[in-house]
Amino acid sequence: MKKHNFNAGPSILPRIAVENSAKAVLDLNGIGLSLLEISHRSKEFQAILDEAMNLFKELLNIPEGYEVLFLGGGASLQFCMIPYNFLNKKAAYLETGVWAQKAIKEAKFFGEVNVVASSADKNFCYVPQEFTVPTDADYFHITTNNTIYGSEFQKDIDCPIPMIADMSSDILSRPVDVSKYSMIYGGAQKNLGPAGVTFVIIKQELLSKVERKIPTMLNYATHLKEPSLYNTPPVFAIYTCLETLRWIKSLGGVKVIRDMNIRKAGLLYDAIDNSKMFVGTVSRESRSLMNICFVMKEQYKDKEDAFMEFAKTKGMLGIKGHRSVGGFRASTYNALPIESVQALVDAMHEFERNNA
């Protein structure tokens, strides 16, 4: 039976990226060594790193003055590194979910944090649209896509101060005007690669803004001075990121990916909106293209477990909603084929016909 991988992360990767990474583990480009055995100081890895950084810049049209880094520690370490490097007195944050809350918690160790708006009042089922960013803050931090709750910024917003964005779960899913951000970062394990590597796109002029001394490994200047090579980087994970970036380019780039994602999400949202049994949990203007959350209508709540088991018999994996939301979550990341979304829709229709 074909499996349909809707896991929220680590999640589905392009098949060609998985296959080529597997080949490289056995023998990298015919050099007689595994990708897992080569030195991170070798010319072979330097070529991998250079191509990955350059492809990232090309696909997102990253302007001059920005650099791409591949680091360790996940987005969670960035929650600490960002205020360590950039918060002098006050920072502004938008609270749109658990990951935003975790970032806010870390920032409070370093100075005043102004939460300019929050959607906690409705269990993060929307992205706040009306808020004022204080111009005396050192930076403004947002989470562009909320993996757990299924809400997402629909466009790049304007900001009067340096803006920093956690794009862990929607990077490369749509074109981004990088010039509107001073930094973009995220864990790779959704749209880019396997767990174990974190991407950072950073504007160089953002550095050297704080007076405090910063430990070497937590200082962005360290990693920019020796681009992603100050310490041993996650070689395998970076290689798989490169294969994914090559795949995106082969399809025609990020605009093509965006159109694919719109079609996939539209197919599932239409099924939810026209269902007698299922209902979405996110306001329409904030619906994510990456993580689609829905539940059973009140009169059918007792059938949620039955649908979960039925979906498994149809090859659906990873559709259980996060425990804080319940219901179901289908993560429709870049590499998920539209055939998998159609299979889920078909399963929903069949279950509804037999149980509604």
Predicted pLDDT at 116: 98
Active site residue 170: no
CA 307 to chain centre: 28
- pLDDT at site 57: 98
Q: Residue 166 catalytic?
A: yes
3-state DSSP assignment of residue 224: helix
Structural domain 15-251, CATH architecture: 3-Layer(aba) Sandwich (3.40)
- The C-alpha angle 251, 255, 69, rounded to 5 degrees, equals 85
A 10 A CB-CB count for 207 gives: 14
Q: Do domains 15-251 and 253-355 have the same CATH topology?
A: no
Q: For 89, which DSSP code?
A: S
Q: Give yes or no for a contact between 193 and 246, defined as CB atoms under 8 angstroms apart.
A: no
Active-site residue identified among 99, 138, 264, 320: 99
Domain boundaries, the chain: 15-251, 253-355
Burial, 150: exposed, middle or buried (Cβ in 10 Å; 0-12, 13-18, 19+)?
buried
Q: What pLDDT score was predicted for residue 208?
A: 81
Q: Is 190 a catalytic residue?
A: yes
Provide block-wise average pLDDT over 10 residues at a time, the chain (356 residues).
96 98 98 98 98 98 97 98 97 98 98 98 96 98 98 96 98 98 98 98 91 95 96 98 98 98 98 98 97 97 97 98 92 98 98 95
Catalytic residue, candidates 138, 166, 203, 264: 166
Of 170, 190, 247, 320, which one is the catalytic site residue? Answer: 190
In Å, how far are 114, 213, 225, 330, 343 from 231, measured between CA atoms?
34, 20, 12, 37, 44
Query: Could you say which architecture CATH assigns to the domain 253-355?
Result: Alpha-Beta Complex (3.90)
